[in-house]
Amino acid sequence: MAIEIRKIGVIGAGTMGNGIAQTFAAAGFPVVMRDLKPEFVERGVATVTKSLDRLVSKEKMSADDRDATLARITGTTELSALADCDLVVEAILEVFDLKAALIAELDEVCRPDAILATNTSSISVTRIAAVSKDPSRVIGMHFFNPVPLMQLVEIIRALQTSDAVCDAVTAMVGAVGKEAKVSKDSYGFVVNRVLIPMINEAVNCVAEGVATPEDVDDMMKLGANHPMGPLALADLIGLDVCLNIMETLYNGFDDPKYRPSPLLKQMCAAGYLGRKTGKGFFDYGS
């Protein structure tokens, strides 16, 4: 029997979480967005409001649709508010122990037939699923930033994920106007396994004095037809996130080709994380 998804829970009201909540709500689904503190929830709702206002100003959404979308999002700090959700997507920090603890909590809160999805960008979904009392209902849904604009959602099947859960989540992605691509569970999956080592090698080119950050990016834009250079993209993603994924690949595969660039480590240690701190490979100060 096909699994029907009517109500969505999103855990985490940060950049990814509020984008995921907006995407589901704009497609007509009621969403419960939960975070640990009221101010986090309020900030997430404010971000969604600003995003929708931008769409209205560009005449890509009507004011009525904006208001209806916002009305479908309920903010909360209570995990119990997710009890009647058919699908819960966690978008918390990219730390296995935190995700594992949350899945264990959701086992107690959610209905036995609810689907539990993780938005992890590189951690083994099989390992996360193993924490659940019913690993067959756990799956990876890797959205990309900015969520409302990016079309791809990587669907990652844990070794334990059931066919019914995979089919339901894949159909759900199509229902919100995005494209699902299914991959087996492997460190970094497909996109980050290809993308982040490329960024890491661009960092190595700068570290070795092969070219300046500006020239590295210009060469990749002009020579490989990339819309954005790898170092500007790293600044957008966050250098700490890039380092985290490289370390996951390096430790997971135990392969030296995934060794994080020493310069990437150094910049993270200095707090030069990219756009979010105002400085990375490029400066973003006012």
154 is catalytic: yes
Active-site position among 90, 119, 122, 154? 154
244 is catalytic: no
Beta bridge partners, 194, equal: none
E strands, 82-166, are 87-90, 115-118, 138-142, 152-157
Active-site position among 142, 200, 244, 261? 142
> Cα–Cα distance between 131 and 136 in angstroms, integer?
11
- Is residue 61 a known part of a binding site? no
- Is residue 140 a known part of a binding site? no
- Is residue 276 a known part of a binding site? yes
The string over 232-268, giving b where at least 16 C-beta atoms fall within 10 Å of a residue's C-beta and e elsewhere, is bbbbbbbbbbbbbbbbbbbebeeeeebebbebbeebb
Active-site position among 18, 90, 119, 121? 121
Pairing of strands 138-142, 115-118: parallel
What lies within 8 Å, CB to CB, of 198 at 6+ separation is: 230
- Is residue 16 a known part of a binding site? yes
- Is residue 14 a known part of a binding site? yes
- Is residue 84 a known part of a binding site? no
119 is catalytic: no
Are the CB atoms for 141 and 8 separated by under 8 Å?
Answer: no
Active-site position among 18, 122, 132, 192? 192
Name the nearest CA neighbour of 110 among 131, 77, 81: 81
- Is residue 99 a known part of a binding site? yes
- Is residue 136 a known part of a binding site? no
- Is residue 42 a known part of a binding site? no
- Is residue 12 a known part of a binding site? yes
251 is catalytic: no
Q: Give the catalytic positions in this structure.
A: 121, 142, 154, 192
Known binding residues? 12-17, 35, 51, 58, 94, 99, 121, 145, 276
Binding-site annotation: residue ranges for NAD(+): 12-17, 35, 94, 99, 121, 145, 276
Annotated binding site for CoA: 51, 58, 121
